[in-house]
Homo-oligomer: A and B are copies of this chain.
């Protein structure tokens, strides 16, 4: 993206706090008070921590107060075991800071999204690869005692297929299982194509209504579930309307130098642009997404990375690949 947002431009449509902060700083030509950003790099992986510190910043960013850590690795979706292990370790590390310290605390992992819609299937896929241990408490061999957290997991499905708000289902389960923490995994929408399948966002805010590829209606967070909710997400799509918007902006940028052009553009406000895009894309643009052709294999790869990182974070000091040998007995 080359164009610079201008004062008054509305927030882009993205689930990544990182992209919102990039946008805000570009639009305001300044740091945003209450929006702290730090970045660090290890080899081919960068980790950016965005903290929304004040209610004002939260309103401005359209995201609840809290921490948002984004792990970025351009080749995350390729079949590169070394990178996957490294990314898994970083994810485990960041996750470790947010998990309850007590190793006996029950953790409920929930894979949001629709198993049968590829771009939305990330959550259920990850959940299917986790080491589930809550039901084994009494079977765990002595040598593993204390090194295994009690972990349980569910993939509740989507409203369209269940007829029940995902938040409702989770509330029912949480009330029975009484976990000390919930980890919610979801597929996200980004605003730039380059971030599809290359970024992992971890946040302590849970999931806000209207976010995710599936656009959950109800929030899934401490407020609705009564326990802390850690959200982990990976962008799998960009909305077609977002891309169309970018194109318009690029075009305008292109002519910004041209004085006569500018006052013309002046006549065209945001609303006009939206309408323009509608006309270009036609009906049902809302449900149109942009994805790489190879999304199926990419999701397979990335879900393996997430599962690896989660297993590492939840069962520290245990090689997940040996673990199973005990458990499957």
On A, residues with C-beta under 8 Å from B are: 1-2, 75, 78-82, 115-120, 127-128, 132-136, 150-157, 159-165, 168-169, 171-177, 192-194, 213, 237, 240, 243-244, 246-251, 254-255, 258, 260-261, 264, 268, 272, 276-277, 279-285, 287-297, 321-322, 324-325, 328
A115 to B78 CA separation, bound complex (whole angstroms): 19
Contacts of A156 in B (CB 8 A): 154
Contacts of A168 in B (CB 8 A): 173, 176-177
Contacts of A175 in B (CB 8 A): 172, 175
Q: Which residue of B lies closest to A276 (CB)?
A: B250
CB distance from A148 to the nearest CB of B (A): 11
Query: Are the CB atoms of A80 and B152 closer together than 8 Å?
Result: no
CB distance from A324 to the nearest CB of B (A): 4
Query: Are the CB atoms of A118 and B295 closer together than 8 Å?
Result: yes
Contacts of A213 in B (CB 8 A): 293
The answer to whether A160 and B176 touch (CB under 8 A), given A82-B321, A118-B118, A260-B264, is: no
Query: Are the CB atoms of A161 and B132 closer together than 8 Å?
Result: yes
Contacts of A279 in B (CB 8 A): 1-2, 250
Query: Are the CB atoms of A255 and B250 closer together than 8 Å?
Result: no
Chain A interface helix/strand/loop/mixed? helix
The answer to whether A150 and B163 touch (CB under 8 A), given A255-B264, A289-B291, A325-B80, is: yes
Question: Which of B79, B163, B285, B289 has a CB less than 8 Å from the CB of A135?
Answer: B163
Contacts of A250 in B (CB 8 A): 276-277, 279-280
Contacts of A260 in B (CB 8 A): 260-261, 264
Query: Are the CB atoms of B251 and A248 closer together than 8 Å?
Result: yes
Query: Are the CB atoms of A194 and B153 closer together than 8 Å?
Result: no
A2-B279, A82-B322 given; 11 more Cβ-contact pairs under 8 Å? A79-B328, A116-B128, A127-B161, A168-B173, A169-B172, A193-B240, A193-B284, A250-B277, A255-B264, A261-B261, A287-B292
A141 to B57 CA separation, bound complex (whole angstroms): 43
A192 to B325 CA separation, bound complex (whole angstroms): 23
Query: Are the CB atoms of A193 and B153 closer together than 8 Å?
Result: no
CB distance from A268 to the nearest CB of B (A): 8
A2 to B291 CA separation, bound complex (whole angstroms): 25
